[in-house]
Structure 1
């Protein structure tokens, strides 16, 4: 599971920082999460292939989270893309995107599908044979969702030594990997546990930005391996949280602790601060395993 931070700062882009956008690679899938201004430039800068992005998840319709979407969609067309593109986001994302395409007469060369969200309850929005994506209803100034990415358990791993010892034909390997027992020619039944090892534990990732502190998300993100949670302010500026509906680093750490998360990744920092290191120090007073997102940073979990 690889997370590439393209941008992780709040509000406006600067020459030294970018608004929210990140790429999650999980089970050989590549998902783009949020698409602030400059996303396609960051994708090029960090050598992430445009052609691998088939699903884009938008948390909410504030500019620092989706103003890069129309540019990316248009560039895909200019590059002659043919593969379908799916966009998941709040109701209105289709209207605002199609209006720009219409007025600029820049229709896509590929099928563009919108999956608009309105529910305030958690729901599955994407699923295939490897990954399932569920919304995390957040509390912000506009309708907002985070996203929970969960790997499905993979096949069991063959114990080659055991399989060869029983002289089992390779034609049965997939059955064994899928959990099946094997009956030998002499009638003996070999239980699957003797022929395989457990698969690697399925990993999970939760993206939570933007939101005021809310424990309503805990049942959805419980025991998540990696939690990205917004930390717009330090505790010294907590008075701004209620008005802007954002969190402090300490509050993000409290959510991580109560969710029993494996790792907390902080992001969405206000640009009022000269350094992001204090965010980590503040979070560490509550939660032990804290990482700082930063533009261009790559995490491998």
Structure 2
């Protein structure tokens, strides 16, 4: 599971920082999460192939999270993209993107599908044989969702010594990986647990930006491998959190602790601060496993 941070700062783009956008690679699937201004430039800087992006998830309709989307869609058109593109986001995203495309006389040569979200309850928005993705309802000034990306159950690991000992043909290996028992020619049934080892636990990634402090998300993200949680402010500006409906680094760490996640990645920093290291220091007073997002930074889990 690989996470590439394209941008992770709040509000406005600057020459040295970019608004929210990131790429998650999980089970050989690539997902673009949010698409602030400058996203396609950051994709190029980080050498990410545009053609691998087939699903884009937009958390909410504040500009620093989706103003780069219409430009990216247009660039896909100029690159003669043929594969379908799916966009998941709040109701209204289809209208705002299609209006810009229509008024600029820019029409895609590929199929563009919008999956508009309205539910205030967690729901499955994408599922295939490898990955399932659910919304995480967040508490912000406009309708907002985070997203939980989960691997489906992994294949079991073959116990080759045991398999060879029973002289089982290779054509049955796939069945064994998926948990099947094997019946030998003499009628004996070999239980799967004698032929395999348990798989590694499935990994999951929870993306939560933007939101006020909200413990109602804890049951949804509980035991996640990695949590990305907004941390717009330091404790000295906690008085701004309710008005703006954002969080401090310490509040993000509190959510991570209550949800028993393995790793917390902080991001969505206010640009009022000269250094992001203080975010880590404040969060570590509550939760020990802290990583700091920054533009261009990659994490492998």
Trace 1:168-187 onto structure 2 (pairs within 5 A): 168-187=168-187
Q: Which residue of 2 aligns with 1:141?
A: 141
Distance in 2 (CA, whole Å) between partners of 1:158 and 1:77 is 45
| CA deviation map 1:55-76 (0-9, x unaligned) | 0000000000000000000000
Paired residue for 2:165?
165
| C-alpha displacement of 1:164 | 1.7
- In structure 2, the partner of 1:205 is 205
Unaligned runs of 5+ in 1: none
In structure 1, distance between residues paired with 2:210 and 2:17: 18
- Residues of 2 paired with 1:82 and 1:199: CA distance? 37
Deviates more, 1:125-134 or 1:155-164: 155-164
The whole-number CA distance in structure 1 between the counterparts of 2:8 and 2:234 is 16
1:93 aligns with 2:93: yes
- Deviations for 1:70-101, whole angstroms, at most 9, x for unmatched residues? 00000001000000000000001000000011
Aligned-partner SS, 2:137:
strand
Alignment of 1:28-39 (within 5 A): 28-39=28-39
1:46-125 equivalences under 5 Å are: 46-125=46-125
Instruction: Compute the displacement of 1:159 (Å).
Output: 1.4
Q: Output the aligned Cα RMSD.
A: 0.6
1:219 lines up with 2:219 in the alignment: yes
1:152 Cα offset (Å)? 0.5
Q: Deviations over 1:97-146 (max 9, x none)?
A: 00011011110010000000011111100000111100000011110000
Q: Secondary structure at the match of 1:202?
A: coil
Residue number in structure 2 paired with 1:233: 233
Q: How big is each residue's C-alpha offset from its partner over 1:169-203, in whole Å with a ceiling of 9 and x where there is no partner?
A: 11111111111111111222111111111112100
**Aligned-pair CA distance for 1:215:** 0.6
What is the aligned residue count? 301
* TM-score of the pair, normalised by structure 2: 0.99
Residue by residue over 1:207-263, the C-alpha shift from the partner in whole angstroms, topping out at 9 and shown as x without a partner, is 000000011111101111100000000000001111111000000000000000100
Matched, 1:242 2:242: yes
Instruction: Quote the Cα distance in structure 2 between the aligned partners of 1:125 and 1:137.
Output: 13
- Corresponding residue number in structure 2 for 1:127: 127
Q: Determine if the alignment matches structure 1 residue 282 to structure 2 residue 282.
A: yes
